[in-house]
């Protein structure tokens, strides 16, 4: 449901109107809201959407969340797609595309790019900055052109906090509560992160922390976060994209 992937789908659909389709990996790391958005965007483009279940959540290297989880997640996704292609006569001479942009390629924490390289995934947006992606998406009428970035739920977990289905559901439920309580829109940047010791950190954009904290308190956030969701505590700090990202070094493999 991200704007980068959406623009890629739009461009590929324009280039190959009768032989292109969208594919999204479905797992505990994908918020339900993003799956719904992906369906909406694909429908607006007129592209068929295939939803495939991925099994990164069964991989101990992914679960341990020590810097390489994105690599293992994307490897699971591309492996699943390759298996479908290899065992289905419907597809031949298939090219996989992703939404990687130029800003992504200069981010050393995006180890999922190595998985894409291992599977020879093409990136038609790799010469466009994020701002240019949004401008082109708006020009082409994509409904999510101004939506805030919303990476997978695993990215909300601090280094070493295990990426279990339980933790991912906790984050999703917490973000739904904050979004609803504060009246946030899809264009607003915010996160709920789980730090070590089960602590929740709410990241909000802007400087009205005091009023937002008061509003959260008025809506029984203590009951929601500690009693219902199992966090040990909660706090608020300024929003920072990639706030829990950690750089690791991986090596490209031969295919």
Q: Which residue has the tokens 């031969």?
A: 254
DSSP state of 141: T
pLDDT one-digit tens code per residue, 145-173: 999 998 999 999 999 999 999 999 999 99
What DSSP line would sit under 96-134, residue for residue?
A: -B----HHHHT-TT-THHHHHHHTT-B-TTTTS-HHHHH
Mean pLDDT to the nearest integer, 23-30:
96
- Separation of alpha carbons 169 and 245, rounded Å: 20
Summarize pLDDT for 81-108 with one digit per residue, the tens.
Answer: 988 888 766 777 899 999 999 999 988 8
pLDDT tens digits, 206-231 = 777 778 988 998 999 999 999 999 99
Instruction: Record the pTM.
Output: 0.90
Q: For residues 35-42, give the mean pLDDT.
A: 97
Query: Which of these, 127, 133, 159, 157, lies nearest to 145 by C-alpha position?
Result: 133
List strands edge to edge, sheet with 233-238.
190-194, 199-204, 233-238
Looking at residue 255, its pLDDT comes to 47
Sign of the dihedral through C-alpha 135, 136, 139, 144: negative
- The values of phi and psi at residue 68, to 5°, are -115, 10
């Amino acid at each position: 449901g991200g704007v980068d992937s959406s623009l890629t789908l739009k461009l590929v659909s324009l280039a190959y109107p009768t032989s292109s389709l969208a594919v999204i990996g479905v797992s505990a790391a994908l918020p339900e809201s993003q799956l719904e958005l992906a369906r909406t965007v694909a429908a607006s483009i007129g592209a068929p959407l295939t939803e495939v279940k991925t099994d990164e959540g069964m991989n101990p290297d992914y679960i341990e969340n020590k810097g390489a989880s994105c690599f293992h997640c994307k490897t699971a996704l591309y492996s699943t797609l390759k298996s479908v292609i290899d065992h289905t006569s419907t597809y031949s001479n298939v090219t996989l595309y992703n939404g990687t942009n130029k800003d992504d390629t200069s981010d050393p924490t995006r180890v999922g790019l190595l998985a894409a390289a291992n599977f020879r995934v093409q990136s038609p947006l790799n010469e466009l900055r994020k701002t240019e992606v949004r401008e082109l998406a708006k020009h082409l009428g994509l409904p999510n052109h101004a939506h805030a970035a919303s990476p997978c739920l695993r990215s909300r977990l601090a280094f070493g906090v295990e990426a279990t289905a339980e933790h991912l559901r906790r984050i999703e439920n917490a973000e739904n509560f904050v979004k609803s309580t504060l009246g946030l829109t899809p264009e607003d940047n915010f996160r709920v992160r789980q730090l070590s010791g089960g602590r929740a950190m709410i990241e909000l954009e802007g400087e009205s922390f005091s009023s937002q904290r008061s509003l959260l308190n008025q809506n029984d956030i203590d009951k929601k976060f500690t009693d219902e969701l199992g966090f040990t505590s909660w706090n608020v700090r300024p929003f920072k994209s990639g706030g829990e990202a950690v750089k690791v070094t991986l090596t490209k493999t031969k295919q």
